[in-house]
Structure 1
Amino acid sequence: MTLFAEYNSPYLFAIAFVFFIGVLEMISLIFWPLSFRRARRPSRSL
Structure 2
Amino acid sequence: MVKKLVIFVHKWLGVVLALFFLMWFVSGVVLYYVPFPSLTQAERLGALP
TM-score by length of 2: 0.55
**How many corresponding residue pairs?**
35
Unaligned stretches of 5+ in structure 1?
Answer: 39-46
Q: Could you tell me the percent identity over the aligned residues?
A: 9
CA RMSD of aligned residues (A): 1.9
Pair member with larger Rg: 2
TM-score by length of 1: 0.57
Q: Which runs of 4+ in 1 moved over 6 A?
A: none
Unaligned stretches of 5+ in structure 2?
Answer: 36-49
